[in-house]
A and B are shown apart, each in its own frame.
Chain A
């Protein structure tokens, strides 16, 4: 339009920068609404199964790694702070602070994923993976107590056996076998291994999809760093940083719900 409001950042189909920034914000928020619905489907499915099988979900959750999850929560919340500070730096035209804040955010996101990798590794080492792995591990502990040939161990003998062979079976497996000892599957206190695996499916799918979002977010942040270094993010273009930041905060906010639903459902259960 008129020369006084024209900036090299202004795209030709917008009246002015204010309108352009508003449109960019609205655009990413529309996308975030679809993201909320995307995760909403998973949260809805989780809600149904949690209401159906509350005891198995709580028991299965109790064996997840809460220490790593808590550290990761701290990483993500802190990364949201540095991401918001990056917008401020961009608006002030402080390029080195912008790049610094973006790099800290990317580093915290990367630390989150590295911890997540360790966590998955521990889960696989503990054979806490739904499907054949879970079934084999559970059956091995079950057959140690109830051999196909020969007499079954008494409950006391079974406890003694697991205590004396800590390497032979995973803790979640022998605790489950001991819990279900002598219980009929119709007993309300019986814990169904299949329903526990359903929880684990939610755990891997929800944290996996969330982790994918983190990786995409890190990619976008590193792209911003690249652009900032090239001098492509002057104050008039701060909204590019804000668009990525809105996505990043949403991924953070989703984690704030995954944390209680997946990791804290079984917190405070006493393992004996």
Chain B
């Protein structure tokens, strides 16, 4: 209170000194993608796509074909979601929303199958 005269020229002008020091005041370039990483992910997803086409044509329709194809597709979708859709940036609410969509779809398909895969047990006796 006694020192007030010394600080009067700039009263409450700069509550946070950060913007002056940074050329990125809004944190926009904080999570900038590394183009090399993006290209590596692109090659990986593309490689997996060609792998699933090649493998499916090679082994043909066996009992292992569909699980293998789905495992590859899930890996591809995971790479796309993590890198291209920026789940790696770790926004918790976004990750929760993304996981919830998988969770609800899981319920949807499990309840579908709970009906259709058990119907004959009741009707057939």
| B-binding residues in A (CB < 8 A) | 2, 4-5, 7, 16-18, 22, 25-26, 29-30, 32-33, 36-37, 40-41, 43-45, 47-48, 51-52, 58, 66, 70, 73-74, 77-78, 80-81, 83-85, 87-88, 91-92, 235-236, 238, 242, 245-246, 249-250, 252-253, 256-257, 259-261, 264-270
- Minimum CB–CB distance for B120 against chain A, Å: 10
- Flag if A256 contacts B109 (CB, 8 Å): no
Sample 27 A-B pairs with CB under 8 A, ordered by A number: A7-B26, A26-B97, A36-B101, A36-B102, A36-B104, A43-B105, A45-B112, A51-B113, A80-B80, A81-B84, A84-B33, A84-B83, A84-B84, A88-B38, A91-B28, A252-B80, A253-B76, A256-B49, A256-B73, A257-B70, A259-B52, A260-B69, A260-B70, A264-B69, A265-B66, A267-B57, A268-B59
- Minimum CB–CB distance for A77 against chain B, Å: 5
- Flag if B46 contacts A77 (CB, 8 Å): yes
| Known contacts A4-B14, A5-B25, A268-B60; A256/B32 CB under 8 A | no
- Flag if A2 contacts B28 (CB, 8 Å): no
Any chain A CB within 8 A of the CB of B19? yes
- Flag if B109 contacts A265 (CB, 8 Å): no
Within residues 32 to 82 of chain B, which ones have a CB less than 8 A from any CB in chain A? 32-33, 35, 38-39, 41-42, 45-46, 49-50, 52-53, 56-61, 65-66, 69-70, 72-73, 76-77, 80-81
- A256–B80 Cα distance when bound, in Å, is 10
Query: Which A residues are in CB contact (< 8 Å) with B98?
Result: 29, 32-33
- Minimum CB–CB distance for A190 against chain B, Å: 17
- Minimum CB–CB distance for B74 against chain A, Å: 9
Which 5 A-B pairs have CB atoms at the shortest separation, nearest pair first? A268-B60, A260-B69, A33-B101, A40-B105, A267-B56
- Flag if B58 contacts A268 (CB, 8 Å): yes
- A52–B97 Cα distance when bound, in Å, is 33
Query: Which B residues are in CB contact (< 8 Å) with A18?
Result: 26-27
- Flag if A236 contacts B26 (CB, 8 Å): yes
- A33–B56 Cα distance when bound, in Å, is 30
Q: Taking A5-B26, A245-B84, A269-B61 as given, write out 13 further A-B residue pairs in contact, using a Cβ cutoff of 8 Å, ordered by the A residue number.
A: A22-B93, A36-B101, A36-B105, A43-B105, A44-B109, A44-B112, A51-B116, A74-B49, A80-B42, A235-B28, A253-B81, A265-B66, A267-B60
Query: Which A residues are in CB contact (< 8 Å) with B102?
Result: 36
- Flag if B97 contacts A29 (CB, 8 Å): yes
- Flag if A77 contacts B77 (CB, 8 Å): no
- Flag if B33 contacts A4 (CB, 8 Å): no
- Flag if B81 contacts A264 (CB, 8 Å): no
